[in-house]
Structure 1
Amino acid sequence: MNDNDIAASLAAPVEPDALARLRDRLAADAEAQDLVDIAYTTVDSPVGPLLLAATGRGLLRVAFAREDHDRVLDTLAERVSPRVLRAPRRLDRAARELDEYFAHRRTAFDLDLDLSLSQGFRQLVQRHLPDIGYGTTRSYREVAELVGNPKAVRAVGTACATNPLPVVVPCHRVVRADGGLGGYIGGTEAKTALLDLEAA
């Protein structure tokens, strides 16, 4: 085969199904050889496409489209490991539980979580957020009291704003003392949608 033949074969259109099969095979091979530190996929949801990323320890990141999925993956490659690969199979359970949540068939997630993107007080707050029951809300002050530091209201707000696992770790259930929504990594529309979903 000469250079022209090689160039022609590389320029030939490839069937999308063939590309998908090749991508799946490469992902499976990489997983089998333990070459993937962070697996990711995207799933559709009523609050827009969500990026899911996981390490071997558990779900590491849930990101809204407004966070720019490519930027999130770049950050994970810098902070955790450059061995990042689209490998949806590792995230099947998380995707299924999210589907069940959005379909009103799940009120709590039962997933292994990798909380290594947060440390100290932020991680402490994020560990306690699932204690806020489905369909209920707590104020930032009440969460501060829940974690044993009633004066740390502002720090609770920061912990919620930097929560790497929104929806699954329900920071959307934390609101201002006056009933106002407060900020949300997915935007106020997404926060409202999640609270409305749980109130239905």
Structure 2
Amino acid sequence: MKASETVPGPRAEDQLPHSTQAAAKIVIVGGFGVGKTTMVGSVSEIKPLTTEETMTQAGIGVDDDFGSATKTATTVAMDFGRIRISDEVVLYLFGTPGQERFWFLWNGLFEGALGAVVLVDTRRLEVSFEVMGRLEERGVPFVVAVNTFPDGPRYAVEDLRQALDLTPEIPIIECDARRRASSRDVLVTLMRFLHALMANGNLT
């Protein structure tokens, strides 16, 4: 580096406000192509970090190829973003990779997470079972967000609850992961759920 060069400081939009009093780690999980990267990108107040790589012929027969006609890249490590839910509370968002061969990374991403959003595609409900099972094993509370794809079937909430074998207290909310307000509503729902668990002594 030349003597006249300086290292740029953090951008103003990346700095936390002085009113921030608490921060929480939230994971966005789900199968391949359900919209995790899209959700993190749409709702993050900072430029999101993504680890997407181009899908190649090497993945044929190994990876889930649902939607591969339009999807050309996949997350191989994580997505990262940040959003303020209020002047005092900031959420750090970690999107998990959906391809099964990258699931070994999930344990590290779940570490220290206060809660999770399970993003669901109604065209492939079955890919959600492994995700929810792992969260339950680690004791990470979660809400279910149904990403409304244009060609995806629509179901009543109670029908989805039964199909996913969810207990009555777990919130289910429809969303459009492309829209910031919709993704933010999902996170607010999660925080309210976590607050209720704390109030009832079910979360420490």
The normalised TM-score by structure 1 is 0.29
Q: Which has the higher strand share?
A: 2
Q: Which has the higher helix share?
A: 1
